[in-house]
Amino acid sequence: MGNTPRKYALVGLVLAMAAGAAGTAVAEEKKDWGAYKVGDKRSGYTYAAPETRAMQDDNFQNPAMLWAEAGEELWNKVDGEAGKSCASCHKTPDSMKGVAVSYPKYVAAKKGLENLEQRINRCRTENMKAKEWKYESKELLGMTVFVRHQSLGMPVNVKVDGEYAPFFEKGKAFYNQRRGQLDMACKHCHEDFAGTQIRANLLSQGQGNGFPLYRLKWSGVGSLHRRFRGCNKQVRSTPYGYGSDEYLALELYVMWRGQGLPIETPAVRN
C-alpha cells in the first residue's frame, strides 16, 4: 500500500479527464434549459445524452414508471397488524404533494436527520404496525419514487439552519474531504471537473434532485445512497451503509447544493 500506485492512479484519472475534456461539448445544443438550470446549478438532466433525456421526458418510455406504479399499488394495500394502508390515513396521493422537497428532515425524537425512505418506514412500523421495507427493495424504492413524484417540478427546499446546522456542516466536511486510494473528494469530480469527460462519463454536478432514478447501467432504479456508495467505491474508499448518519448528513448537503432545482423523480441517467 505504498504511495506510488495511488499517485499513478490519480495522475491517470486526471489525464483521462483532461484528454476527454478536449473538444467535449457539454450537451449545449439546448440553450434554454428552463428549470433544469437555476443560476449556476445544473441538473444531471442537462448533462445527459439526448436519448436518455427523451426516456425521462416520456412516461411511457421511462422504465422507472414501473416502480412508481408499484408504489401506487402499495399505497392502497392494507398491511400490518393495524389493518391499515397509507390511503387509510393520507387519503389520496395528492396529500404528498410538496412533501419531498424538504427531505432529509430533522426529527427531534431521533436527535438526527431522517430521509424520505426512513419516514415512510416509520409510518409502516409506528402507524401500520407493519415490517420495515429494506433499503433498495422494490417496495421501498417504489414508494419513495411514488411519493417524490407527487412533487414533480417543485423546487428543492431543504433547511440548513437551526438544529440542521451541525448536520449540514458534517455533510459539507464529508463532501470536501479527500478519501480512498485515489485521494479524491466529491468536490474534485463534481465541482472542479463538472462538465469534463471521465472515461465514458460526462461529469455532472452530482445533484440529487432526480433520485431515486433509473440508471441504464443498473438496469433498474436506485436510491441516492446507492449512488453515494458507487461514488465512494470509484475512488476505492469504503462505502458507508444505506441510511447511515454519514450519508444522511451528506444527503442534506447534496440537496442543499441543488436548492431550487426541480424534483425530477424518477429521472433517467446512464
Nearest approach, Cβ of residue 239 and ligand HEC (Å): 9
Asked if residue 113 binds ligand HEC (CB under 6 A), the reply is no
Work out the angle between the directed axes of helices 65-75 and 138-149 (0-180°, nearest 10).
Answer: 90
Instruction: List binders of ligand HEC among 52-91 (CB under 6 A).
Output: 84, 86, 88-90
Total of chain residues touching ligand HEC, rule CB under 6 A: 37
Nearest approach, Cβ of residue 1 and ligand HEC (Å): 19
Strands across the sheet containing 220-222:
220-222, 213-215, 268-269
Measured from the Cβ of residue 3, the count of other Cβ atoms closer than 10 Å reads 8
Pick the stretch among 4-12, 30-38, 115-123, 149-157 that binds ligand HEC (CB under 6 A).
115-123
Measured from the Cβ of residue 204, the count of other Cβ atoms closer than 10 Å reads 20
Cα-based distances in Å from 69 to 62, 64, 146, 222: 12, 9, 7, 16
Among 254, 255, 261, 268, binds ligand HEC (CB under 6 A): 254
C-alpha cell of residue 52? 436518455
Query: From CA 65, how far away is CA 219, in angstroms rounded?
Result: 13
Q: Report the residue number, 29 or 81, with the smaller CB distance to ligand HEC.
A: 81
Encoded one letter per residue, x for contact with ligand HEC by CB under 6 A and - for no contact, window 214-253 reads -------------xx--xx-xx--------------x---
Q: Which residues are catalytic?
A: 231
Nearest approach, Cβ of residue 202 and ligand HEC (Å): 6
Instruction: Give me the amino acid identity at 101.
Output: V
Mention every residue, 6+ apart, whose C-beta is less than 8 A from residue 96.
90, 147, 150, 151
Q: Which residues of this chain interact with ligand HEC, rule CB under 6 A? A: 44, 84, 86, 88-90, 99, 119-120, 123-124, 127-128, 143, 147, 184, 186, 188-190, 198, 201, 203-204, 206-208, 210, 227-228, 231-232, 234-235, 250, 254, 269
